[in-house]
Structure 1
């Protein structure tokens, strides 16, 4: 299993994530959300899942991360997303699996304390959606990943996005357990941030 998925998801996340209370996605356009937002752990989440032959699989989340989202109202393509994930915070609800994920077999948290995503391009796909492409770095390996993002709400200077994507674990030397466990990590992320 791996944070690489994070890469893909982050990429997508890079562009955005979750819905805001009382707002509907159709009522808010990316161009209305111009500004710089700091991602808050409160109201945000980075979840991942890895399939397994015969069913089941593994799922979990990262409890600690930070980031900024800058939306250019004049040209969405010039928007930027920066996300940092702390793999030490990975959690699956099973202590033995968490310890394995933190070991040098997967995230190697003793030597690789951060996973980062830095957007390189944003391509608008609708009034409130975009594809975010960027560089995902984990365990010293950097690859280009893509994520899809959807603006879910904007109210009182607070924004919410939903981001999703898939990352190949093998690209980050985290493909232990394949082919029994899928090489693909699916990310489902929600980001909440305040303009400022």
Structure 2
């Protein structure tokens, strides 16, 4: 679900370029398929007293559409498959997939659909959208920074924070933080 947000944020960042960069923005306009090659959806959950754990999703798909006439009409759709979660610790991975957290057997997808993109700087934007996980949908915001555009490939760095309690995944609080920090790299290929 954070991946979706990051994808949206990435599109927003590209659209957030200043007027002097209009040629680059015009070059970036179009539709991109998010590629797992060159992309990463990572997250961190802190623990009281220090520690916590880091993880990532290995499977996801999505599309970024950049509208160079109206940045706000750009779109990001991202789907994450929670059964692909990995922390490097089998026991934690199994717990995260269970009905206590992602309930991957009954809720096999986490989806993010953008609703707006707002320019915040020359190469950055705020991407707002609807995140759906475990049958619950809430608005979420992510920041996106354009990291590159070359040969039909675009790259964004996306960050954001999501409260896991909103989605019924607050097991372990307050020992483990309710805040999930996302740090994503989204690479899209034109076409």
Alignment TM-score, normalising by the size of structure 1 = 0.88
Separation in structure 1 between the aligned mates of residue 26 and residue 130 of structure 2, nearest angstrom: 24
Aligned to 1:22: none
Aligned residues: 181
Separation in structure 1 between the aligned mates of residue 175 and residue 115 of structure 2, nearest angstrom: 34
Contact 2:4 2:80 (8 Å CA) reproduced: no
Higher RCO (C-alpha under 8 Å, 6+ residues apart): 1
Contact 2:4 2:62 (8 Å CA) reproduced: no
2:18 is the counterpart of 1:41:
no
Give the deviation of 1:15 after TM superposition. 2.1
Aligned to 1:134: 129
- Secondary structure, in 3 states, of the residue corresponding to 2:83? helix
- Secondary structure, in 3 states, of the residue corresponding to 2:120? strand
2:111 is the counterpart of 1:124:
no
Residues 135-144 or 119-128, more deviating: 119-128
User: Structure 2: which 5+ runs fail to align?
Assistant: 12-20
Separation in structure 2 between the aligned mates of residue 59 and residue 100 of structure 1, nearest angstrom: 14
Give the deviation of 1:31 after TM superposition. 4.9
Separation in structure 1 between the aligned mates of residue 42 and residue 159 of structure 2, nearest angstrom: 10
Aligned to 1:92: 87
Name the Cα RMSD after superposition.
1.5
Alignment TM-score, normalising by the size of structure 2 = 0.91
Aligned to 1:11: 5
Separation in structure 2 between the aligned mates of residue 108 and residue 96 of structure 1, nearest angstrom: 15
